[in-house]
Structure 1
Amino acid sequence: MKIQCLVLSVCVLLLSGCSEQTASEGSKPGPNSTYRSIGVVAPRHYDVWVDKFYIESLSADIGWRRPFGIVSCCWKSAPLSGAEWQTTPELFLIRWFSFAEQQSYEAVIKLENPDEIVEKMKEPAPFESFGEIAVRPRDTLVLGLAPGGTVVLWIMNRGENAIEVGRYQAKPYDYQKEGEDYTRRTETYLEREGDFLQKNGIRYDGW
């Protein structure tokens, strides 16, 4: 399917109404749990503002969204908050603003092997918890947003057992033409990370 068709599909989804994240009524995390979630992370020092995040299952004809807002720390780690897992996701539309770069990006991501990813998520993976080894499925699908528009997709329950299952490149767009203003949020960000950026610059490779 061409990218234009994917964008159109997501736009139709938006116009027809998307469901906001609600408290999951299904199973909770555990060794044999079927609990799943979707999250977004960014590298430390490189906070982003996720403006739009839409998820769609083309085969099940279901779409939903999650307004993440600010996303920070840490790369290749479990997210602090997640989007509801309604069914196997196949298509993502994500738009975000990079405070360090003062640049907005947009990515339309169509998973080529969603069923394989879901099967891998079912496999139990060990992790350390309070000095003991716990085991549970890699229940979280995580999108990492890096400088330069790099998007990395992992499955994990903790960063220590993350498996990369996809890598994509977002396209920049002019956020000012979209009527977006990040001036105040940028000022707050630079109060925390301005010294780091001045000393280290922006890292674009190695993500």
Structure 2
Amino acid sequence: MSKFLSIAIVALTLSGCAFANSNSMPYKSWHLGFSAPNYMEVWIESADVVDIKEQVYPRAMSGTAAIQTPPNNTGDPRGWPERPGIGKGKNVTGAELPQKIYVRWQSLVEPQTYQMVINVPESTREIMRKEEKAFCAFDGKWITDYRNALVINLAPGGIAKMWVMGSCLPAIEVTRVKAVIDPRGPYEGKSNGEYDTLSDQSKAYVEKFGVPYGSW
């Protein structure tokens, strides 16, 4: 476990906060997904979860985020999606609803290494517990659905935005976070400052248009 996450957990424990409805999750697991703007490739070193019972789930997600890299620079990475997808991720099995999410990632187009702690408010957990009637277009049926997925979009400059959504329910934006730079660089300084290589499509876009800072 990283020193950054350890400090966050100690601070959480010392706070002595009480959390309502701590064991009222109406499903077996929730989904943690990640995406990135077109061409703005990232590598997630670790996404660690602390649930409302203060249990830690290290590396709940790692690896690449969902991204599109259309050929011939035909994509547009600027701004946030109007309808975000569920992202690339995993179900956080065995955990209660999240209280904090620690993310450490590499922004490969810069390149830069970022880390952050997202505080998940009770209002977001209330949305995740609420059942709603939803029409699923893919099978033409009305169902009872939950927003049981958290999707985090990671953009250059260390900007992150999080939505909560369900399979047939529209996404609701819940928070925007500005991460901090980790001066140790990628892999906590264990790679001699070497970052992973960009895809040819992303490299071509950045060389021609640059990184659209300020659009996120």
Normalised-by-shorter TM-score class: 0.7 to 0.9
Supply the distance in 2 between the matched residues of 1:53 and 1:133 (Cα, whole angstroms). 35
Are 2:61 and 1:62 aligned? no
Please name the residue that 2:124 is paired with. Answer: 117
Find 1:95's aligned residue among 104, 120, 138.
Answer: 104
Structure 2 counterpart of 1:180: 191
Distance 1:127 1:137, change over 3 A: same
SS in 2 for 1:161: coil
Cα deviation for residue 35 of structure 1 reads 4.5
**Stretches of structure 1 lacking an aligned partner (at least 5 in a row):** 13-31
Please tell me whether residue 143 in structure 1 is matched to residue 152 in structure 2: yes
Give the alignment's TM-score, normalised by structure 2: 0.70
Larger RCO, structure (CA 8 Å, separation 6 or more): 2
Q: 1:161–1:101: structure 2 CA closer, same or farther, 3 Å change rule?
A: same
* 1:45 counterpart = 2:56: no
What is aligned with 1:206? Answer: 215
CA shift digits 1:14-62 (9 cap, x unpaired): xxxxxxxxxxxxxxxxxx95652222221121111111211112x5131
* Runs of 5+ consecutive residues of structure 2 not aligned to the other structure: 12-25, 69-80
The one-letter amino acid paired with 1:119 is E
In 1: Cα distance, 2:168 partner to 2:156 partner: 20
Any conservation in 1 of the 2:45–2:106 contact (CA below 8 Å)?
A: yes
Distance in structure 2 (CA, Å) of the matches to 1:118 and 1:101:
34
Q: CA RMSD in A?
A: 3.3
Q: Percent identity?
A: 24
Identify the residue that residue 18 of structure 1 maps to in structure 2.
none
Instruction: Summarize the Cα distance change of 1:181–1:140 in structure 2 as closer, same or farther, 3 Å threshold.
Output: farther
In terms of fraction of residues, the more helix-rich structure is 1
TM-aligned CA distance change 1:180 to 1:133, over 3 Å: farther
Stretch of structure 1 that moved more, 167-176 or 121-130: 121-130
* Number of residue-to-residue matches in the alignment: 182
What's the secondary structure of 1:104's corresponding residue?
Answer: strand
Match of 1:28 in 2: none
Aligned match of 1:170: 179
Cα displacement string for residues 61-117 of structure 1 (whole angstroms, at most 9, x for unaligned residues): 311022411113265221132241511211121110011110010102222x23x21
Paired AA for residue 53 in structure 2 = A
Q: TM-score, normalised by structure 1?
A: 0.73
